[in-house]
Structure formats: structure tokens, C-alpha cells
């Protein structure tokens, strides 16, 4: 029996020989015999799903900072609805031309036009995960978007409004240079004066307490039904906190369960 197997293994080609070697190992040989060709078995291919995500958060929530860190750590494309709108208008797509008509009249762009604008851009991104920011703004837009495109997750930054009010109303600027001061963590050396010129600082209308309160109330009224829509659909994940440096690690821990981080991906490719 052993002599026969030796002759067969010697005279057969490698694919058949590999199967026979495997059989010999099962029959009791003490040392397993490799079934891979010279040079070793090829490494298994890494399969990663592209992620289609939306990020939501009130003005002053740190959404821009967190989005930037997501782009850095996960290589996702950050898509601002405002930027997408400008691109479509500049390239004069059908939806862009239609949107420009309403903007020129000082009117809001209808939901169906906005949805088409966004879809025109999103459909072009076929090999990257992306993070959509600033859209949808209404349930009608969300329904229309979901009917055309599957959204994987909606990440909501849940920051107490009082924290945001304190953060925004503490911001003062020097109008001549655009230098920004924050009374909490970057105050001017002399209260109310620019460090360089000594000129008075001002507070933008958007940063005044009454304006901030109105903006936050308006945001809540607009997004509450939207959050409910995505919660019912099982897409909503909320992250609670008062500081970006505390919230982002939670966001990152969540995302690594969905897609590989950039560093992890590069290491896996090298291996």
C-alpha cells in the first residue's frame, strides 16, 4: 500500500497529488503535509462593506469636527448638502438648473428637486463609504431618499441645548481680522479687546443668546419628526455628551463595528 502511494504521488500532477497527500495525512502519518503550492497559500481576501451614513446634530454640536475625524480615521467621503447643491448648479445639471430658478427668486428649493440633486451626486460614488451632512431636513425628503437609496445608519449628536448655548454665546470676533475668541477656553488678554490691535471685539448676531435660542428651537422642531422616522426604521444611533473629545471615541467605537479604520485596513493589505 505504501509503495503504491509513493509511486502515484511521484507520477501525478500537483493538484491531484495535493488531494492524495491530504488523504495520506488522514490515514495516520505523524506530520501533516501542506496542500499549498510552493510559496505558501494566498492570504484570504478582505471583504468590507461600504457604509452609507448620515450625521445629524444642532448648530454648535461639534458636527464639523467629528465629521473631520471620521474622514481621517475611516476614509469616508464627507458630503455637505450645501456643497452638493453648488456643484449641481455649477455643472448645470437638470436638477441644478431647476434649483437655481427657485434660489434666484428667494424661494426654498422643493423637496423633490433637492432629493434629485443629492441622488445625482451619491450615485456617482460607488467605491467609497460616505457621510451625508445637512440632508435630509424633512421627513418628506427622508422618505424620498430612502425610496431610492438604502441608508445604513443615521448618527445623531445629542448635545444638551444649554451646553450649546454656553459654547456659542461665549464666542467673540475681531471684525477686522476675523480672529475668534472664546471666553471659556481662548479669552482675550484684555476683556472685550483684540490681543493684536486692541480694537473692540464684537459678537455676531448668530451668536447672541436670543438668536442661538431661536436657532436651537427651530432645529428641534424640524428634526424631531425626522429623528422619529429614522428611529422607527431602526437606523438611528444617538451619541450623548457635552464635549467633542468625549463623544468622538463613542462614535469611533461604533463605526469600527461597521467598517475598518484606515490604519487597520492598510495593515491588512500589507499582510
Angle at CA 79, nearest 5°, toward 77 and 82? Answer: 160
Catalytic status, residue 69: no
What separation in angstroms does the CA of 119 have from each of 135, 141, 156, 236, 257? 11, 11, 22, 21, 26
Please tell me which residue in 69, 137, 165, 250 is annotated as part of the active site. 137
* Span between the terminal Cα atoms of the chain, in Å: 42
Beta pairing class for 180-182 and 171-173: antiparallel
CB 79 within 8 A of CB 105: no
* CA pair distance 176, 129, nearest whole angstrom: 40
The H-or-E segment that residue 58 falls in is: none
Q: Annotated catalytic residue: which of 77, 204, 208, 224?
A: 204
Which one from 17, 215, 252, 258 is the annotated catalytic residue? 215
Q: What is the DSSP letter of 40?
A: -
DSSP classification of residue 205: G
193 is catalytic: no
Parallel, antiparallel or unpaired: strands 153-158 and 171-173: unpaired
Active-site residue, 204 included: yes
> Which residues of 49-193 form beta strands (DSSP E)?
52-56, 77-80, 130-133, 153-158, 171-173, 180-182
**Residue 123 annotated as catalytic:** no
The DSSP bridge partners found for residue 240 are: 158
**Does residue 22 have a cis peptide bond before it, meaning omega lies within 30 degrees of 0?**
no
Active site residue 179: no
Q: Which positions are catalytic?
A: 63, 137, 171, 204, 215
Amino acid at each position: 500500500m505504501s509503495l503504491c502511494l509513493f509511486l502515484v504521488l511521484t507520477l501525478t500532477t500537483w493538484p491531484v497529488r495535493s488531494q492524495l497527500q491530504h488523504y495520506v495525512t488522514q490515514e495516520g502519518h505523524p506530520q501533516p503535509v501542506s496542500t499549498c503550492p510552493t510559496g505558501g497559500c494566498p492570504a484570504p481576501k478582505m471583504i468590507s462593506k461600504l457604509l452609507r451614513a448620515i450625521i445629524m446634530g444642532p448648530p454648535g454640536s461639534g458636527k464639523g469636527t467629528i465629521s473631520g475625524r471620521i474622514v481621517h480615521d475611516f476614509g469616508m467621503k464627507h458630503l455637505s448638502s450645501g456643497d452638493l447643491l453648488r456643484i449641481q448648479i455649477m455643472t448645470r445639471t437638470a436638477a441644478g438648473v431647476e434649483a437655481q430658478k427657485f434660489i434666484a427668486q428667494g424661494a426654498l428649493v422643493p423637496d423633490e428637486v433637492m432629493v434629485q440633486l443629492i441622488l445625482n451626486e451619491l450615485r456617482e460614488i460607488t467605491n467609497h463609504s460616505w457621510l451625508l451632512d445637512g440632508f435630509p431636513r424633512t421627513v418628506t425628503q427622508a422618505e424620498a431618499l430612502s425610496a431610492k437609496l438604502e441608508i445604513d445608519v443615521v448618527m445623531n449628536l445629542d448635545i444638551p441645548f444649554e451646553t450649546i448655548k454656553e459654547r456659542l454665546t461665549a464666542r467673540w470676533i475681531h471684525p477686522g481680522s476675523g480672529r475668534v475668541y472664546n471666553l471659556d477656553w481662548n479669552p482675550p488678554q484684555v476683556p472685550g479687546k483684540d490681543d493684536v490691535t486692541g480694537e473692540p471685539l464684537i459678537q455676531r448676531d448668530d451668536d447672541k443668546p436670543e438668536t442661538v435660542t431661536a436657532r436651537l428651537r427651530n432645529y428641534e422642531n424640524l428634526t424631531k419628526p425626522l429623528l422619529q422616522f429614522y428611529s422607527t426604521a431602526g437606523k438611528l444611533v444617538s451619541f450623548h455628551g457635552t464635549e467633542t473629545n468625549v463623544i468622538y471615541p463613542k462614535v469611533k467605537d461604533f463605526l469600527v463595528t461597521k467598517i475598518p479604520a484606515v490604519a487597520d485596513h492598510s495593515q491588512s493589505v500589507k499582510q
